[in-house]
Amino acid sequence: MTTQKEQMNYQEYNDFLKSKAIFAESSGFEVAPDAINDQLFPFQKAIVAEALRKGRYAIWADCGLGKTPIQLEWAKHVCRETSGDLLIVAPLAVSSQTAREGTKFGIPVTICRSQADVRPGINITNYEMLQHFDLSHFAGVVLDESSILKNYSGATRNQIIDGFARTPYKLACTATPSPNDHMELGNHAEFLGAMNRTEMLAMFFVHDGGETSQWRLKGHAEEEFWKWVCSWAVMIRKPSDLGYSDEGFDLPPLTMHEHSIESHIVDEGRLFAVEAQTLTERRNARRNSLEGRVEAAAAVASLSDEPFLLWCDLNDEGDALEKLIPGAVQVAGRHSNEFKEKAMLDFAEGRIRVLVSKPGICGAGMNFQICPNVGFVGLSDSYEAWYQAIRRCWRFGQKNEVQCHMFTSQAEGAVVANIKRKEADAEKMAAAMVGHLKAAGYQTAGKTERSGSNYQRETVSGEKWTAHLGDCVEVMQEMESQSIDYSIFSPPFAALFTYSNSDRDMGNARNPTEFYNHFQFAVKELFRITKEGRLTSFHCMNIPAMKERDGFIGIHDFRGDLIRIFQDCGFVYHSEVCIWKDPVTQMQRTKALGLLHKTIRKDSSMSRQGLADYLVTMRRPGVNAEPIAHTHETFPVDLWQRYASPVWMDINPSDTLQKESARDSRDERHICPLQLEVIRRALQLWSNPDDLIFSPFGGIGSESYIALEMGRRAVTSELKPSYFKQIVANLRNAEVSASQRTLFDELVTA
């Protein structure tokens, strides 16, 4: 019979699981289709309507698809709905273009340099002037070319995210959201309030060790990641991505011309010139070939009487081009904002024939469709800079074939190859998101929830064992109070390694707090089902803190946090043993900065010891009704002295059950079975023959397998079907082995 308290526990747990659902909830308002400006194309109207309905939204539309009229129409309706003011933040010189576009569509826009300039309705400023505004004043905000955030200092990025944190309506618009780095989507998610960057990394990404930037999508998380993104963003490369006609949105041909400049300068220590590989070598090659590249670019630009846009990477390149090309105007970092803005607008309107600048200065937001000729005199490794720079001219609305010239040293071949590789990655990312967008259906209602994996429940039993496929919390809720003699297990590792996309997976957490709240449900049930005076042991290690995810490099006291959770649930901290692990193996596997020998040579204040494993044992208070007594023969003094040691130096890390058959094709490296010798020692110390041994996180069944081997009974639970299947196979094998041993013993006795 289920008590009222148990029913409350069921409901409390179900409510918690619902709170883990990942979605971006709509916070906007509906607008009738006929209320949206008829000057917009049908696909643009659809995006405006969806962005207004969501309230906080990202629009990643390719260059020339009309982000400016889309955001102006969105801003107009937000101002009407809220009777408040709205601020558009844009790159330098884009403000004037946007204001002119507003006039074209009948939407007035006020160009501002400070809060004093703000007028009722839509206002626009550039990112450099943002500190002069009271951001809390605005009912809505638009970030134009929102990917520009990552080009700014952390302080500016935080100012934007924190300053607009309570702004009800937000729109982020760009053509290049993290083209070669999924994690840059975190900038947008955090700005829009969909999820902060740390939560996104914990939920969807895995870190492979070494450099803090090396994060990748977890194998099982890719589909759910894109579904989540599609709940707060739209990506469109052409109207047909949303099911509309592409008529009028055909890109003109783009012809690439690669000019390879021979370098006669040989680096010190070499017999002849070779292709540069490292960043330093590429920079040296670029400087050594500067004169040849500039002369070649100037010759090509001077042969034409059409507009020409030349991109450089070094100040010396820009200065030399300006001198060699008659009438060329350079926009450099040393110039005033007023000069930069005027020069860009003069070029856009045909008053300057040749413009020279860097992608970081003029490469975002501007419409240079008047120009069909682009030249890269200096290339960096940034694909986004290259993409944005070429898209100033090669975009929807360009009437002429675009000629793109790339002037590089023969020694810079790796730079061109790197750009092409990143371009392929960007295409893959865009295709993935568009594909998920189509699969999910563009018009989503209210909110888009993470579907999670299909929850399955099954029970398989043998003579002395029971295996449950299901959520361990719910499995324990079905078990009798004080029915377990001893428990031993490895708990999930607080979002470090995630088993599945299920909300029931404790490792599938946004942050440590969510993990601990989830884990506490299991510990409460574990306390209830454990007999008075009996023990439960958990195997764990502390968790490295990473700068990208945690904001610092160090160690999380995961072991201590788990101990405190058990204590909060009523357990007594009983015992622990430290299990030695080879730091060399850890270094080779993780490439952790603190374990590298080069860190000792560079700055040993960042060096640390390897991370050990721990077997921590907790006790339920009360008197043990069935003492666990040992004889001198079964537990001699020398054996006890080994087991009583606070450090076990003799545990073979490879002494585990076979695990490969339990792996899914998309599993990560989290499958870490507990070493069998650790289980044997714990069971020998803290359980009697025929005791009931419980493992709530079964994995592949290591604890139950050894329990049967040692004449105990076993019960276990596992959430993931592929692991559960392996548990059943392993326990059946253990059962057969145990019966064979028993038969052998009987024959020997006879």
571, 527 Cβ separation under 8 angstroms = yes
CATH code 3.40.50.300 region(s) in the chain: 42-242, 254-412
Q: What pLDDT was estimated at residue 540?
A: 94
Tokens 């419409």 found at: 367
> Given a cut of 90, is residue 677 above it in pLDDT?
yes
Q: What pLDDT was estimated at residue 231?
A: 84
Instruction: Return the higher-pLDDT residue of 434 and 456.
Output: 456
Paired with 402 in beta bridges are 254
CATH code 3.40.50.150 region(s) in the chain: 458-583+611-749
Q: Could you confirm whether domain 42-242 is CATH 3.40.50.300?
A: yes
141, 78 Cβ separation under 8 angstroms = no
CATH topology of domain 254-412: Rossmann fold (3.40.50)
- Could you tell me the two tokens for 678? 């650790």
Q: What pLDDT was estimated at residue 413?
A: 61
Q: At 261, phi and psi to the nearest 5? A: -95, 125
Instruction: Return the higher-pLDDT residue of 205 and 215.
Output: 205
For the stretch 24-80, pLDDT in tens is: 566 899 999 899 999 999 999 999 999 999 999 999 888 889 999 999 999 999 999
What are the DSSP calls for 581-643, one per residue?
A: --HHHHHHHH--GGG-HHHHHHHGGG--PPPPEEEEEEE-SS--SS-----TTTS-HHHHHHH
User: Which amino acid is it at 680?
Assistant: R
CA 695 to chain centre: 31
Q: Which of 499-513, 655-669, 674-688 has the highest mean pLDDT?
A: 674-688
CB-neighbour burial class of residue 56 (10 A; exposed 0-12, middle 13-18, buried 19+): buried
710, 504 Cβ separation under 8 angstroms = no
For the stretch 179-199, pLDDT in tens is: 445 666 778 888 898 887 767
523, 565 Cβ separation under 8 angstroms = yes
What is the C-alpha to C-alpha distance for residues 716 and 696, in angstroms, rounded to an integer?
6
Query: What pLDDT band is residue 750 in, cutting at 50, 70 and 90?
Result: very low
For the stretch 158-175, pLDDT in tens is: 788 889 988 999 999 988
> Given a cut of 90, is residue 487 above it in pLDDT?
yes
When pLDDT is averaged across residues 467-488 and rounded to a whole number, the result is 96
Average model confidence (pLDDT) across the chain:
84
What is the C-alpha to C-alpha distance for residues 267 and 273, in angstroms, rounded to an integer?
7
Q: What pLDDT was estimated at residue 665?
A: 46
Q: What pLDDT was estimated at residue 80?
A: 96
User: Which amino acid is it at 138?
Assistant: F
- Could you tell me the two tokens for 207? 């870190």
Neighbours of 564 (CB within 10 A): 13
Q: Which of 340-344, 362-366, 491-495 has the highest mean pLDDT?
A: 340-344
CA 647 to chain centre: 37
What is the C-alpha to C-alpha distance for residues 506 and 520, in angstroms, rounded to an integer?
10
Q: What pLDDT was estimated at residue 450?
A: 39
> Given a cut of 70, is residue 504 above it in pLDDT?
yes
CB-neighbour burial class of residue 581 (10 A; exposed 0-12, middle 13-18, buried 19+): middle
Q: Which of 92-106, 297-311, 630-644, 666-680 has the lowest mean pLDDT?
A: 666-680
Q: What pLDDT was estimated at residue 724?
A: 93
188, 146 Cβ separation under 8 angstroms = yes
**3-state secondary structure at position 713:** strand
When pLDDT is averaged across residues 305-320 and rounded to a whole number, the result is 92
What is the C-alpha to C-alpha distance for residues 642 and 226, in angstroms, rounded to an integer?
52
Q: What pLDDT was estimated at residue 128?
A: 86
Q: How many CA atoms does the CB half-sphere of 64 hold within 13 Å?
A: 22
Q: Which of 144-148, 324-328, 635-639 has the lowest mean pLDDT?
A: 144-148
What is the C-alpha to C-alpha distance for residues 370 and 392, in angstroms, rounded to an integer?
10
Query: What pLDDT band is residue 374 in, cutting at 50, 70 and 90?
Result: very high
> Given a cut of 50, is residue 557 above it in pLDDT?
yes
User: Which amino acid is it at 606?
Assistant: M
Q: For residue 275, what are the contacts with CB-CB under 8 A and spacing of at least 6?
A: 410, 411, 412, 413, 414
Query: What pLDDT band is residue 547 in, cutting at 50, 70 and 90?
Result: confident
CATH class label, 458-583+611-749: alpha beta
What is the C-alpha to C-alpha distance for residues 309 and 537, in angstroms, rounded to an integer?
68
**How many contiguous H segments (helices) and E segments (strands) does the chain have?**
25, 28
From the list 19, 463, 487, 464, the residue with the least C-alpha distance to 475 is: 487
For the stretch 80-117, pLDDT in tens is: 999 999 999 998 878 888 998 999 999 999 999 999 99
Q: What pLDDT was estimated at residue 458?
A: 95
Q: What pLDDT was estimated at residue 409?
A: 83
Query: What pLDDT band is residue 501 in, cutting at 50, 70 and 90?
Result: low
Instruction: Return the higher-pLDDT residue of 121 and 409.
Output: 121
For the stretch 211-266, pLDDT in tens is: 445 667 776 677 777 778 888 888 888 898 888 998 888 888 999 998 888 765 55
What is the C-alpha to C-alpha distance for residues 59 and 67, in angstroms, rounded to an integer?
8
Q: Which of 384-398, 592-606, 664-678 has the highest mean pLDDT?
A: 592-606
- DSSP annotation of 683 reads H
pTM: 0.62
Q: What pLDDT was estimated at residue 17?
A: 87
Bridge pairing between strands 447-449 and 23-25: antiparallel
Q: What pLDDT was estimated at residue 186?
A: 78
Q: Which of 289-298, 360-369, 405-414, 683-692 has the lowest mean pLDDT?
A: 405-414
What is the C-alpha to C-alpha distance for residues 611 and 613, in angstroms, rounded to an integer?
7
Question: How many percent of the chain have pLDDT more than 90?
Answer: 50
Q: What pLDDT was estimated at residue 283?
A: 67
